[in-house]
Amino acid sequence: MYTESLVKLGKVRSEIREIFEYGNKRKAEIGAENVFDFSIGNPSVPAPKSVNDAIIDLVNNFDSVALHGYTSAQGDAKVRTTIANYINNRFNTEIAPDNIYMTCGAASSLTIVFNAIMQKDDECIVFTPYFPEYGVFLERTGAKLVAVKSEDKTFQVDMKGFEAAINEKTKAVVINSPNNPSGVVYSVETIEKMCDLLRKKEKEYGHPIFLVTDEPYRELVYDDIEVPYLINYYDDTFVCYSYSKALSLPGERIGYIVVSPKMKDAGDAYAAVCGAGRALGYVCASSMYQRVIEKCIDDTADISIYKVNRDLLYNNLTEMGYECVYPDGAFYLFVKAMGDDAHEFCEKAKEHELLLVPADSFGTPGYVRISYCVQTKQIEDALPAFKKLAESYQK
Ligand SMILES: Cc1ncc(COP(=O)(O)O)c(C=O)c1O
């Protein structure tokens, strides 16, 4: 009677949600301060003051009917102009407002782009570890997710494996840099190699292979790391941007898609994005938050706190004997499970009230993800528990 695959999807919670719910139950039992919940990627830093100021100003001074009314489907023209100017100044691009489509965050940016370009039996390459929802989003289009294993330990792209995975059915490649869950950022050199290979393959197969760059963590990089802007490297690029993490607004659902103006038939590509947004019933992105973004275009939440957390966690855990991937960005630490079985390791961690996420569903068994978007004190308080957990494997 109901769509069977969706009944199934609705009944299984993601592993992350499962652990998060367990954490809430455990907190009620023994007190929140005694549970070290590192499960979920909810920003722990408040939105910047500019966001609150913008909301107050809009509510007090902006026409209320317009503020809460529908905007045009692709987003308010003035907002898109502000975003286009900002991107052009920052990345030296030539993006027009009509290359931008406002969305309800990266998740909807991705579903819209996938629906715009992926047809049944097309293949979409992702690199391990990858955000598990890619599989869910792609399945609705009838396309197939092809996971390419990244290099051991560094989790950089394995160029040979990448080349071997590309065939005439390959329609898209997803890049998520900074990466959830590894924190890895791809260098300019890596991006150039990937783009050279894709151009070669586009020629060989005579059709475009689109780069879909999933960028909710673009602003979350530490130590002056550069995140290349892919439109400057590859013409057939869709940028899926979100303010969820950059401005700490995940519940407000606001982001955008950029359709590269250099793409072949860029007008049709943009129309396909508009069509997908319409077919999926998005109508328009939040009218008020589009205007908030316009006012806070060059601001971010206080990201320095994540760097403090990263350094504290990485330095202490490596000293205790954990094998960790050094994260240049995002707010996750990717750690090799002691004993190699990530589920067993996470169960053992629970005995010390440490809630970690096994990375099997990210396509990388044997690893766990630790979200360090938490209060710094939680990390300090959790260190003895991490030590006991490590010692239990060193006996
Ligand atoms: C890699 C990745 N892509 C997309 C999303 C979805 O983000 P948004 O809140 O912008 O929809 C997330 C959220 O955690 C993510 O980690």
Cβ of 183 below 6 Å from ligand 1: no
Does residue 278 sit in the same domain as residue 165? yes
User: Bigger pLDDT: 232 or 41?
Assistant: 232
Where residue 252 falls among pLDDT bands split at 50, 70, 90? very high
Specify the CATH number for the domain of residue 337. Answer: 3.90.1150.10
Residue 216 CB less than 6 A away from ligand 1: yes
Q: State the average pLDDT over residues 288-298.
A: 97
User: Which structural domain, as residue segments, surrounds residue 153?
Assistant: 49-295
Residue 280 pLDDT > 80, yes or no? Answer: yes
Residue 166 Cα to ligand 1 middle (Å): 25
Domain boundary among 295, 319, 350: 295
Check residue 169 and give its pLDDT: 98
62-112 pLDDT tens trace = 999 999 999 999 999 999 999 999 999 999 999 999 999 999 999 999 999
Q: Is 107 in the pocket of ligand 1 (CB under 6 A)?
A: yes
Residue 387, pLDDT above cutoff 90: yes
202 shares a domain with 332? no
pLDDT surpasses 90 at 378: yes
What is residue 84's predicted lDDT score, i.e. its pLDDT? 98
Tokens coding 318: 């490596």
Q: Which atom of ligand 1 is nearest to the CA of 243?
A: 10
Average pLDDT for the chain:
96
CA of 75 from ligand 1 middle (Å) equals: 20
Same domain, 234 and 335: no
200-204, 222-226, 258-262, 267-271: the lowest-pLDDT one: 222-226
162 and 271 both lie in a single domain: yes
Strand order in the sheet with 237-242: 100-103, 255-259, 237-242, 210-215, 170-175, 123-127, 144-148
Q: Pick the last residue of a domain from 239, 270, 295.
A: 295
Answer for the pair 51, 289: CB distance below 8 angstroms, yes or no. no
CB of 214 sitting under 6 A from ligand 1: yes
On whether both 321 and 286 belong to a single domain, the answer is no
* Residue 280 shares a structural domain with residue 344: no
Number of C-beta neighbours around residue 275 at 10 A? 15
Q: Are both 21 and 162 inside the same structural domain?
A: no
Query: Within 10 Å of residue 203's Cβ, how many Cβ atoms?
Result: 9
Q: State residue 286's pLDDT score.
A: 98
Which residues lie below 8 Å from residue 276, measured CB to CB, with a gap of 6+?
A: 111, 112, 113, 115, 116
CA pseudo-torsion sign 339, 356, 381, 307 = positive
Instruction: Find out whether the beta carbon of 328 lies less than 6 Å from any atom of ligand 1.
Output: no
CA atoms within 13 A on the CB side of 315: 7
The ligand 1 atom at the shortest distance from the C-alpha of residue 176 is 1
**What pLDDT, in 10s, does the model give residues 308-333?**
999 999 999 999 999 999 999 999 99
Percent of the chain with pLDDT over 90: 94
Q: How far is the CA of 360 from the centre of ligand 1 (A)?
A: 18
User: Is 35 in the same domain as 64?
Assistant: no
74 and 214 both lie in a single domain: yes
Task: State the SS3 of 166-192.
Answer: CCCCEEEEEECCCCCCCCCCCCHHHHH
Domain count, the chain: 2
Note whether 36 and 57 are same-domain residues: no
Q: Are 194 and 273 found together in one domain? A: yes
Residue 252 φ/ψ, nearest 5 degrees: -90, -15
Shortest-distance atom of ligand 1 to CA 242: 10
Cβ 250 under 6 angstroms from ligand 1: yes
Strand partners, 325: 334
Band (18; pLDDT cuts 50, 70, 90): confident
Last residue within a domain, chosen from 250, 275, 295: 295
